[in-house]
Each structure stands twice: as C-alpha cells, then as structure tokens.
C-alpha cells in the first residue's frame, strides 16, 4: 500500500481481519494528515498535532500491518517490486516485493504551468504548507505593526486567496475573522480590522460544485465578514509582494499584497505518471492515471490505483466525473479492501453524500443528499461531519475542546510563528 492518506488508510484498515493477508504501508510521512482542516492550522485555529495522527499509532492494534517510512520512486510490474528511496536509516534505496499493489499518492495544487509562483503563494495540501502559511499570515500582521509607510502597511494587510472552491472559501473566511475579530485588540500601532481579504476566482461564482442558491448565500456570508470577491478574474502573474489579475472583460491590474494563498486547480501525484509508464498506460490532462471500473490498471488485475491520482472509467469506457474530495478516496479504499479480501472484481460506484463548506463563525453551507442547509444549521452539520471523520478519539476530543473554546472566546491559541 503506497500512501497513508484517506484512501490508503481505508485499504489497510479494511484488511485488518482478512485471513492470510499481510499489509505493508509505505509513506514518506509518518502521519496521516486530515487535510480538510489544514486551513485551520494555517490560521491559528488548530495545532498541527490535532490534525496529524502518527500512522504507527493508528495501526498499533493491527497485527497484519507494517509501516515503512520511505518514498516510492519506481515500479517494476513484471517482477512485482516497488523501489523505495529516502530511507530513514541512510540507505540509498531498497526494493520490496508484492502480490497486490495499491497506489494512492493523492494530488497537489496546480499552478497552471507557472511552478515558480509556488515560492510566492504556498498551498494547503500539506502540513508543511499550512505551517508555512501560518507563519506568513501572522508575520504580515507583525510587519504591519512596525511599518510607518501607509502604502507598505496596506500591502502587509492585504491577503489574496486564489480559488473559490471549499478550501479557498474557508481560508478567506478564516483570514477575515482572524484580522477583523481575533487580532483586533492585540496590536497597538496597527488596526487589523483594516485588513483586506480578496478572493479571486476565474468562474462566475464561488463554490462552483454547489447548487447556485448555496453559492449565492456563501458569497453574501463572505462579504458580510469582510471578504472582497473578485469573480470572473484570473491570475496572470505573481511576484514577491504583488499579484497581477485580469477580469474577463476588464483590464489587467496589479495588487500590492504580501500574502497570497493558492487554492486553485489540482494536479495528480507524480506517482501516477510513474505507474502509467510502468504499465504502458496513460494519464489525463491533470496527470491522473486511467483505471478500470474496478480501480485496477488495464491488464494488471493485481495493481490498484485510487484517490486523486486516478481517473475511473465507467463500464461504457467514459471517464467518471468524481470530485477530488476525501469521501471519494475513502469509498474507493473500502472498495479495494473488499476486492482484495474477497478476491472479487466489481465496478466501483460512488455514493455522493453531499458537499459542505464553512465560511466563518456560525456560517456554512451544506448540500446533503439534496437537502440544502445554510447558516447555523449547516455550520453545526459541518462540525459534526468533520469530527466524525477525524482519526482517533483523542484528536476528536482535542479539536472539539479547541472549537468550543474558540467559539466562546473568539480566540485562536495556535498562533506560533516558525521561522
């Protein structure tokens, strides 16, 4: 099993009672990251340990599971071997054999051919990215406190979030609440309530996968807490301290902003291309490997690929439009575990349970099996669902305690800057 994310962990845990099965889980990190809450680490609402669970602790009671800290860098499907690098003991590399291979490498944000922009606009797909963003955001307020020039101070207090999907909407809302509420009385020389939060989206509405009525409600909630929406607008350039944007029917403009957050577009893990090369398969335009309806590689019934790095063909040969969210990967992981445990091969069918996005304190939108919720009811639903999916009772209790404290005091205690 390559990858200890949502899908990979479901495969491993789904095989805990399978007779005669031994599982080796390989991951380049020693923890499972609850990525949907990474933005709360980036804005000081939660600490990193509360959303990152050590894999060995998660699997400590599963006798048939072994964890290997390494990075998969090659596949020999003929010999049924995986090459591992970056080993913690300093060895150059090693190979491990397999009878069944499952690869769930996930994805990263796409900078649409401008990878150099990553230096100026960190992403939120990793714990490292969340911690880097937290330092940038908090350091911006510290810089504004010392800046005497009004123009330079305004640049430090300007935050731009690119991409108005759930992550972008949640991130913009959290930055706005941080600036306009939490930090308002913490500084002496600067008024953080003057901070500007700009949400840039190339489409004509936020939360494009939600029903239009919920998108409109989300937009109104964002504006209410101080987020400025720039819809039908694309990013055309990024540099240190500036971002160039262009509306669909307008002129290009330059915005002075010291903090930019990237939450637009995804590209599959490089493992998808490595696996496709080894299997003689193909990848789509965002780098996902094409798999059969049962999640196996064409002609390779012993090799599965799932999650954000895989595009699933339907029985008719067309690629299914599955959202790149945790529930898809989890359902695929459980499907693969059943297939391995039973030795059967059945097409995967995704059961869409709906969409959720939180905007701020007591504000959220939810589309749950056709039932639309907004405001406080949607916010409570969002809290319950995320607590249920969080790994480990201890983390659930800690997060619930932290959220309760934050709600009652409007505080954020995880505001440590790492240099």
Write out pLDDT tens, residues 65-76. Answer: 999 999 999 999
Helix, strand or coil for residue 213?
A: helix
Q: Which two tokens stand for residue 370?
A: 């056709």
Where, residue-wise, is CATH 3.50.50.100 in the chain?
Answer: 115-264
When pLDDT is averaged across residues 18-39 and rounded to a whole number, the result is 95
Going by C-alpha positions, the residue among 13, 41, 36, 17 that lies closest to residue 25 is 13
CATH code, residues 6-28+70-109+267-342: 3.50.50.60
Q: What is the pLDDT of residue 74?
A: 96
Whether the predicted pLDDT of 79 surpasses 80: yes
Percent of the chain at pLDDT exceeding 70: 100
Determine whether 26 is exposed, middle or buried from the number of CB atoms within 10 Å of its CB (0-12, 13-18, 19+): buried
**Rounded distance, CA 380 to CA 370, Å?**
18
Answer yes or no: 170 catalytic. yes
Which ranges of 26-99 does DSSP label H, i.e. alpha helix? Answer: 38-42, 55-58
Give the active site residue among 170, 177, 292, 332: 170
Under CATH, to which class is 115-264 assigned?
Answer: alpha beta
Whether the predicted pLDDT of 12 surpasses 90: yes
Residue found under tokens 């262009």: 246
Where, residue-wise, is CATH 3.50.50.60 in the chain?
Answer: 6-28+70-109+267-342
Going by C-alpha positions, the residue among 194, 123, 128, 196 that lies closest to residue 158 is 196
When pLDDT is averaged across residues 167-174 and rounded to a whole number, the result is 96
Question: What per-residue string of b and e applies to 73-108 under the rule 16 or more CB within 10 Å gives b?
Answer: ebbebeeebbbbeeeeeeeeeeeeebebbbbbbbbb
**Rounded distance, CA 158 to CA 152, Å?**
10
Q: Tell me the pairing of strands 196-200 and 227-230.
A: parallel
Q: What is the pLDDT of residue 124?
A: 86
**Rounded distance, CA 16 to CA 71, Å?**
24
Band (pLDDT 50/70/90 cuts) for residue 46 is very high
Q: What angle do CA 70, 134, 47 make, to 5 degrees?
A: 65
pTM score, whole prediction: 0.92
């Amino acid at each position: 099993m390559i990858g200890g994310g949502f899908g990979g962990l479901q495969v491993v845990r789904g095989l805990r009672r399978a007779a005669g099965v031994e599982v080796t889980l390989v991951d380049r990190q020693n923890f499972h990251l609850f990525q949907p809450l990474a933005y709360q680490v980036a804005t000081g609402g939660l600490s990193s340990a509360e959303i990152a669970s050590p894999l060995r602790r998660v699997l400590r009671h599963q006798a048939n599971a072994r964890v290997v800290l390494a990075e998969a860098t090659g596949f020999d499907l003929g010999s049924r071997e995986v090459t591992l690098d970056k080993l913690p003991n300093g060895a150059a590399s090693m190979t491990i054999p397999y009878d069944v291979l499952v690869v769930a490498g996930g994805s990263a944000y796409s900078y649409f051919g401008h990878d150099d922009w990553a230096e100026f606009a960190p992403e939120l797909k990793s714990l490292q990215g969340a911690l880097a963003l937290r330092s940038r955001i908090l350091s911006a307020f510290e810089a504004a406190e010392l800046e005497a020039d009004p123009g330079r101070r305004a640049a430090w207090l300007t935050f731009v979030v690119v991409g108005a999907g759930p992550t972008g909407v949640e991130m913009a809302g959290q930055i706005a609440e941080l600036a306009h509420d939490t930090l308002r009385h913490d500084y002496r020389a600067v008024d953080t309530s003057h901070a500007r939060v700009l949400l840039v989206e190339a489409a004509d509405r936020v939360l494009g996968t939600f029903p239009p009525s919920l998108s409109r409600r989300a937009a109104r909630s964002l504006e209410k807490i101080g987020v400025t929406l720039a819809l039908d607008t694309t990013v055309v350039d990024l540099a240190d301290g500036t971002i160039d944007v262009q509306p669909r029917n307008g002129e290009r403009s330059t915005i002075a902003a010291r903090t930019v957050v990237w939450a637009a577009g995804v590209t599959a893990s490089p493992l998808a291309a490595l696996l496709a090369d080894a299997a003689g398969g193909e990848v789509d335009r965002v780098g996902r490997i094409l798999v059969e309806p049962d999640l196996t590689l064409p002609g390779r019934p012993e090799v599965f690929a799932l999650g954000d790095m895989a595009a699933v063909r339907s029985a008719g040969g067309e690629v299914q439009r599955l959202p790149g969210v945790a529930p898809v990967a989890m359902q695929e992981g459980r499907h693969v575990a059943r297939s391995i445990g039973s030795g059967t091969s059945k097409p995967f069918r995704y059961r869409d349970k709906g969409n959720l996005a939180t905007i701020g304190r007591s504000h959220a939108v939810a589309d749950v099996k056709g039932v639309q919720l907004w405001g406080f009811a949607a916010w409570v639903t969002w809290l319950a669902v995320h607590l249920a999916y969080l790994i480990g009772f201890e983390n659930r209790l800690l997060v619930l305690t932290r959220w309760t404290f934050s709600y009652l005091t409007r505080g954020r205690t995880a505001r440590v800057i790492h240099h």
